[in-house]
């Protein structure tokens, strides 16, 4: 879809010499009702864009195809597009409010706030970190809002996990019977025991019920909990808060994949430069405020236990910042309000050695991929573009964080294994056949 004001009617000359166009071609731009006619023609043209592409493809075999500016400039209609060359289209975007009413007859999808999210008190108070759900694709029924246990299905249409789910199905696991999904709203982070964390506490209660239900549906057999990335930290916090008897009865093995036990250096860069979360054509800095509003943004900051306090992770012309200087770093980048939550809610969980989860663990990690290890700013402030020094890891999580639990958990006396997959990036662990073979084998070995 072309966002902003759509181009008007689009007549197309196909290879056979026939001509077609959207309704509204030839309408005069002036006179009574001209604005309404122009809007209708624009909407018709928006719907006709696939026909334009199909016509152009059909014309490649023969016939004459006019240049694209001529195709998109019907007589009698004002041209709102900026055309550069004969094969490139640039449309000036129209500024729109986040919440808007659908125009009558407009077939384009409308983004609304998800109904499970609390509504803002006024339209001007829409928070920058509200998640949007496209109503045209209501498939993500349990992501990212609260967990629904009554009919908990894996997210088959969620591409992030779909390949992993398909491989499990090929091995005989059945969706909703022998495998279950537990999605979590990644914006929120849990807090230490005794501190308020409504979202995290509700998730842990729902997850506990899901584990017990999954076990009950399969003759009381204990479950295997497999997680990826941030899910590893969540599952670890969930397990250490359960009793030993409960863990022994319901959990056979914990399989964290690409878990960042000690945070990532990239988290320090994100709080300065932003993170577009993979969205194309979006400047990362445009989402800086949104990124800072996420509770989880503090969870991924480097911990002293994993990175030590002597190794500089971010540098300016006048100072070096290690994992032990994160509080000073937050003040220096103009995010001093995060110091309190960081010291009271993050350091108590990750500032020291992580406790063993109390169940057998197989940690699967990717290594051999360049990962940001140090951020060097050329001046005394953080306005200039930094240079990034790369080290080992999976492209997102540093090796020091990936292996932070290897030594202490191996000493615990329990069953702990770490499997390293060479030259494997953070997300490829869930889609690459070589990595999936290893993960599936570990799950089957436990099961």
Please identify every residue annotated as catalytic: 229, 394, 426
Cα torsion 330, 335, 340, 346 to 10°: value is -60
Taking alpha carbons only, the member of 387, 351, 356, 352 closest to residue 372 is 387
- The C-alpha atoms of residue 22 and residue 45 are separated, in whole angstroms, by 6
Quick check: 27 and 76 in contact, CB under 8 A? yes
The DSSP secondary structure of 296-318, one letter per residue, reads HHHHTSPPHHHH-SSS-SEE-SS
Both tokens assigned to 337:
């309000």
* Rg of the chain taking only CA atoms, in angstroms: 27
Contacts 24+ apart (CB under 8 A), 1-5: 1/46, 1/49, 1/108, 2/46, 2/49, 2/89, 2/91, 3/91, 3/93, 3/94, 4/91, 4/92, 4/93, 4/94, 5/42, 5/80, 5/91, 5/92, 5/94
Residue the block writes with tokens 């599936």? 440
Does residue 327 contact residue 343 with C-beta atoms inside 8 Å? Answer: yes
Q: Which two tokens stand for residue 283?
A: 């400047």
Of 243, 237, 236, the residue nearest 257 (C-alpha)? 236
Whole-angstrom CA distances from 206 to 194, 200, 213, 226 are 19, 10, 10, 16
Per DSSP, helices labelled H in 274-420 are 288-292, 296-299, 304-307, 326-332, 339-341, 347-350, 399-402, 406-411
Q: What number of residues does the chain have? A: 447
What gap in Å lies between CA 387 and CA 11, rounded to an integer? 50
Q: Which two tokens stand for residue 121?
A: 């008190």
Question: How many other C-beta atoms lie within 10 A of the C-beta of residue 287?
Answer: 20
Phi-psi region of 87 (alpha: psi -120 to 50; beta: other; left: phi over 0): alpha
């Amino acid at each position: 879809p072309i966002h902003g004001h759509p181009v008007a009617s689009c007549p197309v000359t196909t290879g056979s010499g026939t001509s077609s166009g959207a309704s509204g071609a030839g309408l005069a731009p002036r006179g009574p009702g001209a604005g309404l006619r122009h809007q209708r023609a624009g909407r018709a043209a928006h719907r006709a864009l696939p026909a334009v592409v199909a016509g152009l493809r059909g014309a490649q075999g023969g016939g004459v195809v006019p240049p694209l500016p001529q195709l998109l400039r019907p007589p009698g209609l004002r041209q709102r597009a900026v055309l550069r060359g004969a094969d490139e289209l640039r449309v000036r975007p129209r500024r729109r409010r986040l919440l808007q009413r659908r125009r009558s007859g407009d077939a384009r999808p409308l983004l609304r706030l998800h109904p499970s999210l609390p509504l803002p008190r006024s339209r001007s108070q829409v928070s920058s970190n509200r998640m949007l759900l496209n109503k045209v694709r209501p498939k993500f029924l349990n992501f990212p809002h609260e967990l629904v246990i009554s009919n908990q299905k894996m997210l088959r249409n969620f591409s992030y996990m779909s390949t992993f789910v398909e491989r499990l199905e090929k091995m005989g696991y059945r969706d909703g019977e022998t495998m279950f999904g537990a999605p979590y709203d990644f914006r929120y982070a849990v807090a230490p025991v005794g501190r308020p964390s409504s979202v995290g506490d509700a998730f842990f209660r729902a997850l506990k019920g899901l584990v017990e239900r999954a076990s009950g549906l399969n003759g009381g057999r204990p479950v295997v909990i497999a997680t990826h990335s941030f899910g590893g930290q969540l599952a670890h916090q969930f397990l250490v808060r359960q009793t030993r008897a409960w863990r022994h009865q319901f959990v056979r093995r914990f399989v964290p994949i690409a878990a960042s036990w000690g945070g990532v250096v990239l988290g320090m860069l994100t709080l300065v430069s932003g993170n577009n979360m993979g969205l194309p054509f979006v400047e990362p800095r445009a989402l800086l405020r949104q990124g800072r509003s996420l509770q989880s943004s503090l969870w991924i900051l480097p911990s002293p236990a994993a990175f030590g306090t002597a190794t500089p992770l971010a540098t300016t012309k006048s100072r070096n910042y290690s994992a032990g200087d994160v509080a000073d770093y937050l003040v220096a980048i103009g995010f001093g309000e995060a110091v309190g939550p960081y010291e009271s809610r993050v350091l108590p969980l990750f500032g020291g050695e992580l406790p063993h989860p109390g169940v057998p663990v197989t940690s699967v990690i990717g290594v051999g991929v360049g990962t940001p290890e140090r951020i060097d700013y050329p001046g005394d402030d953080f306005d200039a573009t930094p240079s990034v020094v790369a080290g080992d890891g999976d492209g997102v999580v540093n090796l020091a964080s990936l292996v932070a639990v290897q030594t202490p958990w191996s000493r615990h006396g329990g069953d702990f294994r770490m499997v390293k997959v060479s030259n494997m990036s953070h997300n490829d662990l869930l889609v690459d056949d070589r990595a999936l073979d290893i993960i599936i084998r570990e799950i089957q070995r436990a099961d």
